[in-house]
Each structure stands twice: as structure tokens, then as C-alpha cells.
Amino acid sequence: MKRTYAVVGAVLAASLALTACNSGNNNNNSGASPSGTASASPSASSSASSSPSASPSASSAATVTGSTFENFGTYGFDLNNSRHVPYKEVTADNVKDLGVVWSADLKTLDKDVKNGNQSYPVVVDGVIYVTTSGNQVFAFDAVTGNQLWHWKPPAEEAANYSKAGIIANRGVAVGDGKVFMLTIDCQLVALDQKTGQLVKKVKLSDYYPDVTMENGYYETTAPLFYNGVVYIGSSGGDNGVRGFEAAFKSSDLTPAWDNPFWTVPPKGQDWLANSNFQGGGAVWNPPAIDTETGIMYFAVGNPAPDFYGEARPGENPYTDSVVAVEAATGKLVWAKQEISHDLWDYDAAASPMILNATVKDKQQKIVVEGGKSGQWFAWDAKTGDVVWDGVPFAKIDHPKPTPEGVMVYPGALGGENYAPETYDPATNYVLIPGVEEGMLIKAAKNQDEASTPDSPGAQAFGTSMGETPPDVKTYGTITAIDVNTGKQAYQIETKDPQRGGLTSTDTGLAFFGELDGKINALDIKSGKVIWSFQTAGDNIQAAPAIFTVDGKQYMTFTSGGTKPKVYVFAIGGDKTQGDAGTADTSDAHQSSDSSK
């Protein structure tokens, strides 16, 4: 959607350690100015003050007069999570002319920024909002790279994050004049969209007392804003928590539903009657919302313990499922399970998509999702009736785990992990980011052996993920599924596992990153990679956001690993390429949970 504004304000021309570049103005690998400071044109200084929770660099909005914006305003671009933008400037013919407009080294901007970044940028009216591992938030002028504001949690709170075993964060939601983020220690934060100053912060345990890090919960997911409500999921399924999807009013951060939608029963009830554990079922990523019907769809993770199922008999609903509820109330509409009585850690971890697509030669509104099981599913959006049932896109071989150990395919990090798909309406293809990796897993002999009380939270892996044998090849795939036929149109291999996901455009291109810091453009129809750019960052573990300012198309994404950065590309940018990254994912893989 195109929006036109006359935004009047001043930009703080502070001394920013921002690596910014204009096309052809330097020769170093990263495309940064030699001094490491902002090389964008200077702007008038601002006397805007910051709150104690905002950095001294907080400032008012960028000076833009009469500009037009086409936004990437939420995690999945639209509430359908299609990650498909209608922008047409960058084509197969000119994609070779993409270059870096500016980049920002987040660790230089704040020394407390942690490794392992997985932030999906959100872009609203010429401002890019990104988070970091460790729950910092940055707002940048999308064209110049000027830092507009920066928020970080109090040091005494951030010091406790390591107790969760993972400190990644996947982004913000923007709406109602605020920027919303979930913190590792299970708080919902609302920041002023223009200044970054703290508006309100609530502990989820104020309303749901068990939702604490001490009980195994933490939050890595991005929230979702819709119609005055902020929707949040739950991390920590492998810790034996009780998973949920919840809703909070954006105005005051009080619950918008009477109760969360709990994905598993209370401990000691129903299929957990004889279990020493809570049942898992985390909701790792944002839902999709059908604004025409008011139905919301979210994907649910594995039951706990992961590899030991003796004390959780039956199908274990609603784990490994896509669940449809009324967005206004949280009332169940339908639920469909992908894997029954999961013993392999086969979450439905990635966000569902809502498609208006050609299916069996007829138009149909469907909901689709690819699981860590290496299978892709589609259901009728209204009824939940099966459309395509478990289309394989990875090697599948998962015998029942034993105490001695068995090799399973995909492994617990494989299939489609948290990385999102994209949908191209021109070809009617869904593109699935995949991880091809086997894993040795060992089952517990009993509940006592399944417990790991000394691990962060209350992990219940039941019992272990062994080392991948040296002869097992690990790589990535991108699989195109023809939604009309439910069959593969093609599959390509990538050097590294696909952990970031894809974003596509109306010109038939899909962009994705790799763990060595490379960003690529795929010709969707042919399945050929037609452009690659080696950044100086490493570990691209999130998909790009694509947006326009004054009709010019830009692309932004974050890198993680040991070099957390933000990049913005456009036609005419600097084509100087950086060194290959190390593909070190250790900070993102501190536990099985971090794979989701």
C-alpha cells in the first residue's frame, strides 16, 4: 500500500559509529566509509532528550518532505504472511546493479549487542526497525542510515537473559504509534514509534503467573499487531512449558482475550495425566490473520519430552499442528495436526501463510505450512479440510527413537525450521526454505532419565541429540511447490542450511541469504540463482524486507553470527563485496529450542 506524508522533523546529527556508504565512494570490503562514521549528508541537530531506557542518540523522525512510502509493515509483509511485495523496479535484467546504500555495525553502535542475530526488519514510512539478540531495538532512516533512536533493556534485566539458554529475537510489531517487542525474560514492551522512549512494559506473569524463565519460558518471537491488538506466542516448548498464543490490547497492554489459547492441557490432566512434565507446544513465530474473516492461524511446536513419549500417550493435540481461532476472542475454529505423537522434534515452527491461489484448477483460499518433518501441508482456510497432505521436500526416514540411538531424517534442526516461505502469484509457486540434515537421537528409558533439571529452564529433551556422523552431508534447499498440483516444480541445493527464509517480488525474483553472509536473487520461474552478493557480515538468519521511498526500491536485512549488521541495498549502490563469512552458528544453536 502506498502512503504519502509530509513528515517534518529534525534528525540528530550525533556522532554515530554507523558504516554508511554511497555508490562508489570507497574501496574497503564492507562498503563502509574509512572512518566508520556516517557518510550520509549531515542534518540539523536536535535537542530531543531521551528517557532512562532510551539511548542518548534517541531523536525525532527523519526530515522528509512530501515523500511517498510503500512499506514492509509487519513480519510477513502482509497479514497473510505472503512475504511477496508488488514492487517492480528491480528485475532480472538490472538486479546486477544492486549495491549497498548503507550498512550499520550494531556492535559498534552498542558494545552490548550480542551475537546470533535473527531479526526480521519491519519498515514503516521510511524508518527501519530492527532488534538484536539481547533485546535492543534500533530505528534507522531507511535511505540515509541515520540512527533515529535506540532502546535497550535495563542492565539488571539483561544480565539474567543467559539463564534462558538463548537470547535471539526475531523482530518487532509496529502499530498504534508504538513499537512492540517481546523480551527474553517474558515481558511485552511498548516503545514510542517516533522517539523510542518506553511507553509501557508488562510481565506476562502479571496475568499468567507460570510464564516465567524459572519455569522454562522465554520469548524469541516477533509479535504481530492487528486492529488494536498485539498477538504473541510462546517459546520454550522443549523445556516442558505449557505453550500458548495470547492477545494484548495495544493501548494498555492488558489481555484482549479472556484467556490465552493453551496448546496443551494443564500438567497432570488429559494426555498429561501420568507425566512429570508439562506438554510443550510452543508457538515459535507470528500468526497469519485473514482480515476478511477475522480468523487467525498459528503453528504449534512439538510435545515434551521431545524423544520420549511413553508418559504422553495418544496424538498429543494440538502439538505439531496449525490452529485456526477467532482473532477477536481466541475461540477455536479448527486445528489440523501434521505429526501425531511426535518423537522426533518435528515442530510446525514456521509461520503459516494464507493464499488465494489456483488449486486443482479452481480458485481457493487456503492455509499452508511446512514443518520440520520435511513435509508441506495445505488446508481449506474456512473448514480446515485437507488440500495437500504432507508433500515431501526433504529426505524422510524417522524410525522410533531407542536408548541406543537412531539416525533420523530430517534431524531436529532440519526440514523447514523457523525460516518463512514466500508465495509468488504469477507462477502459483510456494518457495520453501529447507535444511537437509540427519541427526542421531537417543530416547530416554524412563521419565527420570528424560529430565534435565540442570539445564536452562526445565529442559525435557528425553534425552539427547547426538553428533551428526561425519559422512552425513548437511546443506540447504529451496523447493518450489506448484500449489495447483501439489507437486514439486523444482528443488535447488544451497551450500548452507536455509535458516533465514525468502522474500519475493512482482518481477519474478526471490531474495534469500546464507550462513556465509551471501545474499542471492533467485529467478522464481526457472529456479536459477541469477545474482549473488557477498557481504562482510556472516550468518544471514532472517529474510529481507523490501520497500520503496519516493518510488525507489530498497532491500534491507540483518546478519548475525559474530557480525550483527544491518544492510540496505538499492540499484546504484556500492557493489564492493566483502569477505566470506564463517558460517558459525554456535550462538544461534545453544539448544534445540534455538532452532525454532
Whether 448 has a pLDDT exceeding 50, the answer reads: yes
Alpha helices in 64-220 (DSSP H): 106-109, 155-158
322 within 8 A of 373, measured Cβ to Cβ: no
* Model confidence pLDDT, tens digit, residues 199-247: 999 999 999 999 999 999 999 999 999 999 999 999 999 888 999 999 9
pLDDT of residue 31: 29
474 within 8 A of 58, measured Cβ to Cβ: no
Q: Which residue has the higher pLDDT, 329 or 60?
A: 329
26 pLDDT band, cuts 50/70/90, is very low
How far apart are alpha carbons 509 and 521 in whole angstroms? 6
Whether 590 has a pLDDT exceeding 80, the answer reads: no
What average pLDDT score do residues 60-83 get?
83
Hey, what domains does the chain have and what are their CATH numbers? 2-595 (2.140.10.10)
pLDDT of residue 591: 38
pLDDT of residue 328: 98
Whether 447 has a pLDDT exceeding 90, the answer reads: no
Residue found under cell 566508520: 36
| Sequence-ordered list of residues with C-beta below 8 angstroms from that of 347, at least 6 positions apart, any chain | 237, 282, 284, 299, 300, 301, 302, 320, 371, 372, 596
Whether 134 has a pLDDT exceeding 90, the answer reads: yes
What average pLDDT score do residues 283-311 get?
96
pLDDT of residue 537: 80
Spatial CA neighbour of 333 closest among 273, 381, 292, 398: 381
- 530 exposed, middle or buried (CB, 10 Å; 0-12, 13-18, 19+)? middle
Q: pLDDT averaged over the chain?
A: 87
What predicted TM-score, i.e. pTM, was given to this entire model? Answer: 0.89
321 within 8 A of 315, measured Cβ to Cβ: no
| Sequence-ordered list of residues with C-beta below 8 angstroms from that of 23, at least 6 positions apart, any chain | 99, 101, 572, 573, 574, 575
- 449 exposed, middle or buried (CB, 10 Å; 0-12, 13-18, 19+)? middle
Whether 132 has a pLDDT exceeding 80, the answer reads: yes
Residue found under cell 490473520: 289
How far apart are alpha carbons 196 and 424 in whole angstroms? 35
Q: Hey, how many other C-beta atoms are within 10 angstroms of the C-beta on 455?
A: 15
Whether 71 has a pLDDT exceeding 80, the answer reads: yes
Q: Which residue has the higher pLDDT, 295 or 463?
A: 295
Whether 64 has a pLDDT exceeding 70, the answer reads: no
pLDDT of residue 460: 62
pLDDT of residue 595: 61
Strand pairing category for 502-505 and 84-85? parallel
How far apart are alpha carbons 59 and 150 in whole angstroms? 9
pLDDT of residue 62: 47
Whether 498 has a pLDDT exceeding 60, the answer reads: yes
Question: What percent of the chain clears pLDDT 70, i.e. is strictly above it?
Answer: 84
* Model confidence pLDDT, tens digit, residues 416-441: 999 999 999 999 999 999 999 999 98
How far apart are alpha carbons 326 and 348 in whole angstroms? 20
173 within 8 A of 133, measured Cβ to Cβ: no
Spatial CA neighbour of 171 closest among 117, 247, 226: 117
Whether 178 has a pLDDT exceeding 90, the answer reads: yes
461 pLDDT band, cuts 50/70/90, is low
Whether 564 has a pLDDT exceeding 80, the answer reads: yes
Degrees to nearest 5, angle at CA 406 with 400 and 411: 90
137 within 8 A of 151, measured Cβ to Cβ: yes
Whether 347 has a pLDDT exceeding 50, the answer reads: yes
What average pLDDT score do residues 375-395 get?
98
Degrees to nearest 5, angle at CA 163 with 162 and 167: 40
**3-state secondary structure at position 156:** helix
pLDDT of residue 2: 40
445 pLDDT band, cuts 50/70/90, is confident
Residue found under cell 521436500: 393
pLDDT of residue 225: 98
How far apart are alpha carbons 4 and 538 in whole angstroms? 36
The values of phi and psi at residue 95, to 5°, are: -60, -25
